[in-house]
Structure 1
Amino acid sequence: MDPFAEASAAFLAWLKHSGALISSKSELKDLRNIGAGRGVVATQNIAEDELLFRIPRSAILSVENSTLSKEIPKATFEHLGPWLSLILVMLYEYLNQDASNWALYFRVLPSEFNTLMFWEDDELAELQASAVVQKIGKKGADGMFVKELVPVIKEFAQIFFSSNEEAIERAEEMAQPQNILLMHKMGSLIMAYAFDVEPASPEKDVDEEGYASEDEDEALPKGMVPMADMLNADADRNNARLFYEEEHLSMKALKPIKAGEEIFNDYGPLPRSDLLRRYGYITDNYAQYDVVEIPHDLVTEVAVNARVFSESRLEYLDEQGVIDTGYDISTNTPFDIHESLSPELIVLVETLLLPDVEYERLKRKGKLPKPEKMSAKGADFLHKLVRARIQQYPTNLEEDMRSANGEAGHSTLKERRFATAKCVRVGEKKILQVAKKALAELAKEEAHTSAGMKRQAEEMELGSGKRQESR
């Protein structure tokens, strides 16, 4: 048995020993021949709602289940928060190797990553002006690890490196580059594989399907769920979902699955830029969720150039919860500018363009312009804004498409990363081009409509004057 298959077999044996129930109708399979690592495949036909596997909560790699949570004060974990707490626990379990309950689990998890956190500078440069580059946060994470995690490890060195005579020395070494890299790897595993684990007795409001709101999800503890993270994800072929129960987490089929078919989870409607940032790969079927972000700073720049910038109006908009660091333009088919543009962006632009009297009237009432009512001036401003955003990319869409047509296969990792980055930026440029055209047409239509209404009003006024004269 080769090491890859041996690690899979040992992992499954450990999982079953931990109390997991795994359907005989599926198997953990080596899918490296299609570049998918491990995956779960149906060996027999599976019916809708049929149980695929059930994992006891005690098998989840979480802060609550780790012995470290019994040795370190609860206040320390509360200070670190869900993200850093789980990184700390995973470091502890990983470094304790065979002494850890999850040692065999770690052996089937990736040790090398293709997420943006691990890309070289020249590779990241191929993403050009994509907003995803600003979301990587490597320097911020480095500082957080040194400032928050390393001091905790030093303070509790004898616990963290139990039964080790060099515990203090090892704790001191945690600030060295190779250990900061290890922290990044633990963080990447969490980003790619961890679940927001709903408590056995949830105190949060959930809907009929068991989902908490987005704000409530942020406060949920995170956990690594063995076997659930062995499923690959697919936006179109998603056929399974994890359900939270009092003592277990159960993966069930969402639809009938035929023998030989792979079982897929779903990451949700993620644009390919975020798919790459979080999971290290992209697929064409996630292009339907692509977005391009318009930075707030660019809106300000265009407003200054158009002489409509107003600090006081921005402050009012901020009070109303409109201001953000960036605003999305999403893709849809057929393209609809009102559905694609962030409502906040439309409101921001229309507020800046309002005549003073109209702005003061709305402000007194605590109201804002309606995003579904875009003016000709608003469409024209947004058209200029999109053009300015396009110019932030060093190459245009036509250049990228020409160079893509002349490319052969990508044999090296760097070539594959360059090609992936190009796909991401091309997707964003396509959205911008379509938006530019739609806004130009809308600005023309709105201007024509406004001119017609003005003429009609003038004619009515003129007609009214003539009637009065005839009297």
Structure 2
Amino acid sequence: MATPAKRQRVAGPVGGGDPDPVAGFLSWCQCVGLELSPKVAVSRKGTVAGYGMVAQESVQPGELLFAVPRAVLLSQHTCSISGLLERERGALQSQSGWVPLLLALLHELQAPASPWSPYFALWPELGSLEHPMFWPQEERQRLLQGTGVPEAVEKDLTNIRSEYYSIVLPFMEAHPDLFSPRVRSPELYHQLVALVMAYSFQEPLEEEDDDKEPNPPLMVPAADILNHVANHNANLEYSPNCLRMVATQPIPKGHEIFNTYGQMANWQLIHMYGFVEPYPDNTDDTADIQMVTVREAALQGTKVAAERLLLCERWDYLCKLEMVGEEGAFVIGWEEVLTEEELTTTLQVLCMPAEEFREFKDQDGRGDDKQEDNSLTIRNIPKLKESWRQLLRDSVLLTLKTYATDLKAEQDLLSNKEVYAKLSRREQQALQGPSSMFSKTNEKMMVSSSEL
């Protein structure tokens, strides 16, 4: 995970702000050994939003932009109550895995002499975070209907409340000397969860450790200043002694330096970070068809009870094969289906003749490999079997009905600059984001799959 775009005036979340937070932060970097290249500068000018990092001179691929010693990282292992958090590790287990870091932040934020105080001065004001979890429920549902974000937010809010009242608050009350009353606040905890969601990093596991639990999140000063785009020009590298931000592309003088948060669709960006990349800049954007929507589309084509029973049997078999699930989704990229095996198998099983399905089950899902090209690239959709194309098209139509607007309405808004400028920031983000991507991606699918 990486850091989000900054947008508004920043200051220390708890306590007063430095009149020149950048100068204070850069001085602190020198004191703690956080090395910034003379070719880069932290700036509010020439950045996509708020603070960012800009090249003062041209930078070549492979050049070091800055190095963060591991002692400077803020985590459950480096904070001033690390020993206590380690001793109480069992009691701090949670679904998110973030509770120890959040407690570390709650403790350090209230400490006037915290080693990270100059770093906190560059944080956004916690009350200004733009995650959908802070939007009114009505606005969230109206603007993001059909994207899956409102449902994800509801789960987040339930988990946050549960963690706070069952784990975090009892822990703080058990250690009143370490946590002042002003940080024992569900609102502050809620805001810090959003900040950790957006600004923290997670060190990847080694290949041989893939079966282990993920590493806990940590805060990386300087790295969380960089904004994100899909076509990024820098990347964070992990080494035993430090974390290094390295240029991956030539960066001309005056251009902003961008990190990546990973291959993130716009619905993920707005959910986790509170912003999207305007269409069509996000080349990692995707659109989802809920798996149960494909089942619903298939049921639409049944005429008698026997056909419906057989289709339910097929669906149950797909569940047994772990190709589908009640909460799963088929993920569609710009050029291909990213969940190709799952969707191909689903279309195959739901569309095959009854006798062929019996044989398929008898062979434990191993069908005849001698079949036509069924690769699910957007361009290849016209070559699919007619029954597959029909089911895919019906699924697309059902999905598009879940959105509050249609493609033409969105295109009209985007093309009318005067009207677009009058929209709220949230309305603009929603328009450029998940529902827009789904409509545009599936317009391609509709054109291809309409040749029936």
Is 1:265 the equivalent of 2:240? no
Aligned to 1:434: 444
Decide which structure has greater helix share: 1
Is 1:223 the equivalent of 2:218? yes
Partners in 2 of 1:368 and 1:97 — Cα distance? Answer: 62
Aligned to 2:288: 293
Is 1:27 the equivalent of 2:41? yes
Q: RMSD across aligned C-alpha pairs, in angstroms?
A: 3.0
Cα 1:258/1:402, change in 2 over 3 Å? closer
Cα 1:135/1:129, change in 2 over 3 Å? same
Contact 1:5-1:30 at 8 Å conserved across structures: no
| TM-score between the two structures when normalised by the length of structure 2 | 0.81
Percent of aligned pairs with the same amino acid:
25
Is 1:422 the equivalent of 2:431? yes
Aligned to 1:44: 57
Is 1:110 the equivalent of 2:86? no
Name the SS of the counterpart of 2:97 in structure 1: helix
Partners in 2 of 1:81 and 1:417 — Cα distance? Answer: 27
Aligned to 1:60: 73
CA deviations over 1:399-449 (Å, ceiling 9, x no partner)? 23234444526677x7121122122222221222221221122xx3xxxxx
Partners in 2 of 1:340 and 1:244 — Cα distance? Answer: 28
Aligned to 1:184: 190
Is 1:390 the equivalent of 2:404? no
Structure 1 residues 398-407 or 183-192, which shifts more? 398-407
Q: 1:245 Cα deviation (Å)?
A: 0.8
Q: How does 1:80-99 map to 2 (within 5 A)?
A: 82-94=97-109, 96-99=110-113
Q: What stretches of structure 1 of length at least 5 have no aligned partner?
A: 207-211, 445-471
CA deviations over 1:321-342 (Å, ceiling 9, x no partner)? 201324335242xx5xx64774
| TM-score between the two structures when normalised by the length of structure 1 | 0.78
Q: Higher relative CO (CA 8 A, sep ≥ 6), structure 1 or 2?
A: 2
Partners in 2 of 1:320 and 1:384 — Cα distance? Answer: 24
Q: 1:52 Cα deviation (Å)?
A: 1.3
Q: What stretches of structure 2 of length at least 5 have no aligned partner?
A: 1-10, 12-16, 377-383
What amino acid does structure 2 have at the position aligned with 1:243?
Answer: E
Q: 1:108 Cα deviation (Å)?
A: 0.5
Q: How many residues align structurally?
A: 411
Whichever of the two has the greater Rg, that structure is 1
Q: How does 1:24-423 map to 2 (within 5 A)?
A: 24-31=38-45, 36-72=49-85, 73-79=88-94, 82-94=97-109, 96-111=110-125, 112-124=128-140, 125-137=142-154, 140-157=155-172, 160-162=175-177, 170=181, 174=184, 179-198=185-204, 204-205=206-207, 219-236=214-231, 238-284=232-278, 285-307=280-302, 308-309=307-308, 310-324=311-325, 325-332=327-334, 339=337, 342-367=340-365, 372=375, 374-406=384-416, 408=418, 415-423=424-432
Partners in 2 of 1:294 and 1:353 — Cα distance? Answer: 18
Partners in 2 of 1:147 and 1:128 — Cα distance? Answer: 25
Partners in 1 of 2:437 and 2:113 — Cα distance? Answer: 47
What amino acid does structure 2 have at the position aligned with 1:235?
Answer: A
